[in-house]
Homo-oligomer: A and B are copies of this chain.
Amino acid sequence: MPRRATIADVAREAGVSRTTVSHALNDKGYVDALTRERVKAVARELGYRPNVRAQRLRTGEARTIALISSMPFEVAGGASRLGFLMEVAAVAASAALVRGLALVLVPPMSTARLPLEQLDIDGAIVIEPTQDDVNVALLQSRGLPIVCIGRAPGDDAVPYIDLHTPATTQLLLAHLLAQGARHIALMIGAQQRNSYIDAHATYLTFCSAHGIDPAVVHVDEAGGEQAAYDACLRLLAQHPELDAICVPVDAFAIGAVRAIGERGLRIPQDMKIVTRYDGVRARSCRPPLTAVDLHLDDVSSLAVDLLFAHLGGKAEQLAVEPPVPQLVVRESSVLNAKTE
């Protein structure tokens, strides 16, 4: 890059001191109008721009936070890239800017590891961390404040926004039961993520309360949609009695829908299917998937607020609860459901 004009260059060219340049450019008022205009003209001509970074360093202000998805590329990238992360990002970026924070986006990448070391950040929001999450560990080793969306399993010290997974799972299962399903399976990811752990526990309790034989399938996230398709085919072969599947990960639900169609089963008449996040994939699926409104607007703003409090050292709250999730009924579980 060509050398950038410095304040010294402007001072020399305008024939004034550096302090005068600084005052003139910042409209401090200690400089007469004529000089101020001349300094500004010279600065423009030389292409001088104040070094915001250096100013921030001097004042010690926190300026940048990262939004990081811990979901693997295979389920949160590609066709699913306009998903949970980006919906959070859209709201969080605005909420951050209002607070004077820039939000750096770190989407899942098909490379092995996120290049977090190179990021010059003051804190981070991590979406759905796993147990012993490498991204969380790296950020912690740098001493950065972190807020998780979804509790970090096995680490009670990381502040988080509660995703209400037990309530969400209960909503979906009770809905399937109310629609007449009696043999309901659960398909979750293989990693140790809090949403899976909570969904699993809620499912087992629900099955036991309603006399349902549990059938749980763990799918490798790295296999994405295709792995869910394969797993669903095996599940249907092993459990011909099944009449419903709860598939919280939307990319997995899409794979499962394909497998159900492959087996010649009609949705929802022969097989009902529901997912968690009411996003693009749920809506553009044929048939559209019954899902849950997680109030991601609120989740996102609350995450920024909580991180902001921690950045400022005012870290009382550990967990924040957004509004309770609401069911969004679609044709994957109710025939002729009225959808938007």
Task: Give A contacts to B, CB under 8 Å.
Answer: 1-2, 4, 44, 47-49, 51-54, 56-57, 60, 62-64, 66, 77, 81-82, 85-87, 89-91, 93-94, 97-98, 100, 102-107, 109, 111, 114-115, 118-121, 141-144, 279-280, 283-284, 286, 288, 311-313, 339-340
**In the assembled complex, which residues on chain B have CB atoms less than 8 Å from the CB atom of A340?**
284, 286
Q: How many copies does the complex hold?
A: 2
Q: How far is the CB of A147 from chain B (nearest CB, A)?
A: 16
A-B contact pairs, 9 of them (CB 8 A): A53-B53, A53-B56, A66-B102, A82-B279, A97-B114, A103-B104, A105-B105, A280-B280, A286-B339
**In the assembled complex, which residues on chain B have CB atoms less than 8 Å from the CB atom of A64?**
64, 102, 104, 120
- Given the known A-B contacts A2-B313, A284-B283, A284-B284, are A53 and B49 also in contact in the complex, defined by CB atoms under 8 Å? no
The 9 nearest A-B residue pairs measured at CB: A93-B105, A52-B120, A283-B284, A47-B143, A81-B90, A49-B143, A102-B104, A86-B86, A49-B142
Q: How far is the CB of A136 from chain B (nearest CB, A)?
A: 15
Query: Are A107 and B93 in touch, CB under 8 angstroms?
Result: yes
**In the assembled complex, which residues on chain B have CB atoms less than 8 Å from the CB atom of A98?**
109, 111, 115
**In the assembled complex, which residues on chain B have CB atoms less than 8 Å from the CB atom of A44?**
141
- Residue in B89, B94, B284 whose CB lies within 8 Å of A89: B89
- Residue in B82, B102, B311, B339 whose CB lies within 8 Å of A1: B311
